[in-house]
């Protein structure tokens, strides 16, 4: 599945704004005499394994990191080998199994040979290529590829996302709604507030933080468009988390990966255009493997819930560290989602509040201290243009993702900013439960905002296509 048809972004013209924002000699924003990192930005996408997204860079392009070889495979029910093969579908449907039991069956005590058997077919052995993921692979060309970054839990989305925010899931193994409205769980947002560290939680259609008691401080909760504005106006806080659109561009099957590429291109463009580029560290990762094959058996670590099996890390997930001071190429330090929390703790003098965070290797291992000592930052490279017709995305490529909004009530809203352009379709996500409808409506506060996810799709499409956008559209 190559993303082809219509040019949407980000060649040299997309960085014209970055050059326009570049400081002049004598400007107060001119390069610092001493290199430093003032802003860390963390993005967590959904449900892809390292080998599925990045492994073929070794197989096809001889990249020097722990990736795929042509003889890798898994047995099917008849004992026949199913080898890794080139992706041949726009959307992975049905979604591969990735719950606690399925993931452990796929692991099979370290053999990593249960993926095909668990899925009941070969689809989990597919790998993506540069044609499928032009932005991700281009970023991997220029920045750090973390080829030993494992998800925190050998299980599904919510426990892994809790580890990303909290360094623990309190023993939670599945995606269970809290009975009291939100989980009382220690999280980084409270720790940052206590320490007086500036921070923002940016979201696209619905913030995962709604599941954590005390994490939705209105002063620190903003829309994705605000992230773009804050980056381009040099107003980023010390710590930022950016959620994708869980209804459409988070890369959770069956979502079309071109929409995920569009989102990541927008995140990168905002930082590349920012006067703060030389003081930024961006980490892009995925919550868990999504049931897709990975050949590296994950290790164990310390945890407050070792007795319940939480010493076992999950499978590798595609992870890139991006910025002016990162190492280029493979970084093979063992990381998990608590590694960015360890970085935050070390940077801001916060005591690690769980055994997992204390045991983690800090994501600071991606930083090229020699480059910093030389004060020779990596300039933001232009991303390749890619073609993708958002009106040709099959209906099957929309789905629930980690949440999914309620179905449209009025047949689809209209984006008044660009009325002459065909608008995205409003396909009802599958499997959405009534309690989440209520949460979604509460977050957006009025009935018109239940359509916000599709309006945001149009906004991101405009932004990465270098069409005029209103950064205050949702205010």
Look at the alpha carbons of 112, 117, 118, 123 in this order and tell me if their dihedral is positive or negative: positive
94: Cβ–Cβ under 8 A, 6 or more apart, which residues? none
Q: What is the pLDDT of residue 388?
A: 73
- Cis upstream peptide for 136 (omega within 30°): no
Alpha-carbon distance 367 to 36, whole Å? Answer: 11
The sign one gets for the Cα dihedral 54, 57, 60, 63 is negative
- Residue pair 151/286 in contact (Cβ under 8 Å)? The answer is yes
Decide if 240 contacts 221 (C-beta within 8 A).
no
> What pLDDT sits at residue 219?
86
| Cα separations in angstroms, 457 against 113, 126, 259, 368 | 38, 27, 9, 35
Structure tokens at 163: 């580890």
pLDDT for 247: 81
Contact 453, 404 (CB under 8 A): no
pLDDT score of 413: 33
What is the torsional sign of CA 125, 129, 133, 136? positive
> In this predicted structure, what is the pLDDT of residue 64?
93
Show Cβ contacts of residue 217 under 8 Å, excluding neighbours closer than 6 positions: 189, 193
Q: Running along the chain, 475 residues long, what does each successive block of 10 average in pLDDT?
A: 37 34 38 79 97 98 96 96 92 85 96 96 96 96 98 96 97 86 92 97 89 86 93 96 90 91 96 96 97 98 98 98 98 98 98 98 97 96 80 67 37 31 28 44 48 78 84 53
pLDDT at 399: 56
Token pair listed for 292? 């897709």
């Amino acid at each position: 599945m190559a993303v082809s048809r219509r040019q949407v972004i980000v060649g040299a013209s997309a960085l014209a704004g970055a050059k326009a924002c570049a400081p002049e000699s004598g400007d107060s924003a001119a390069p610092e005499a001493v290199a430093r990192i003032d802003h860390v930005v963390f993005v967590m996408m959904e449900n892809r394994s390292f080998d599925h997204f990045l492994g073929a860079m070794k197989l096809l392009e001889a990249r020097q990191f722990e990736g795929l070889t042509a003889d890798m495979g898994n047995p099917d029910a008849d004992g026949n080998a199913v080898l890794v093969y080139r992706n041949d579908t726009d959307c992975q449907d049905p979604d591969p199994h990735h719950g606690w039991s399925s993931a452990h069956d796929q692991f099979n005590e370290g053999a990593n040979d249960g993926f095909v058997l668990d899925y009941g077919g070969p689809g989990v052995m597919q790998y993506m290529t540069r044609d499928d993921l032009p932005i991700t692979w281009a970023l991997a060309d220029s920045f750090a590829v973390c080829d030993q970054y494992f998800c925190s839990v050998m299980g599904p989305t919510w426990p892994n996302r809790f580890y990303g925010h909290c360094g623990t899931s309190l023993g939670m193994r599945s995606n269970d709604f809290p009975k009291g409205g939100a989980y009382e769980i220690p999280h980084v947002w409270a720790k940052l507030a206590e320490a007086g560290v500036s921070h923002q939680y940016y979201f696209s259609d619905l913030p995962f933080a709604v599941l954590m008691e005390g994490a939705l401080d209105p002063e620190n909760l903003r829309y994705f468009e605000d992230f773009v504005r804050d980056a381009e106006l040099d107003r980023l806080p010390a710590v930022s988390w950016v959620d994708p659109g869980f209804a459409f561009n988070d890369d959770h099957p069956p979502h079309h990966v071109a929409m995920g590429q569009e989102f990541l291109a927008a995140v990168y463009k905002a930082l590349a255009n920012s006067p703060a580029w030389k003081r930024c560290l961006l980490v892009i990762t995925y919550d868990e493997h999504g049931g897709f094959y990975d050949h590296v058996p994950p290790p164990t670590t310390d945890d407050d819930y070792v007795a319940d099996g939480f010493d076992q890390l999950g499978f590798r997930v595609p992870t890139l560290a991006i910025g002016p001071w990162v190492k280029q190429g493979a970084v093979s330090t063992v990381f998990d989602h608590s590694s960015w929390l360890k970085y935050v703790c070390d940077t801001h003098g916060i005591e690690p509040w769980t055994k997992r965070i204390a045991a983690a290797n800090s994501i600071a291992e991606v930083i090229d201290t020699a480059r910093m000592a030389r004060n020779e930052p990596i300039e933001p490279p232009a991303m390749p243009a890619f073609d993708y017709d958002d009106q040709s995305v099959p209906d099957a490529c929309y789905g629930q993702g980690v949440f999914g909004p309620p179905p449209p009530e009025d047949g689809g809203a209209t984006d008044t900013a660009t009325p002459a352009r065909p608008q995205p379709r409003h396909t009802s996500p599958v499997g959405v439960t009534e309690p989440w409808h209520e949460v979604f409506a509460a977050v957006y506060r009025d009935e018109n905002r239940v359509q916000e996810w599709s309006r945001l799709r149009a906004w991101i499409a405009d932004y990465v296509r270098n069409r005029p956008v209103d950064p205050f559209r949702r205010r």
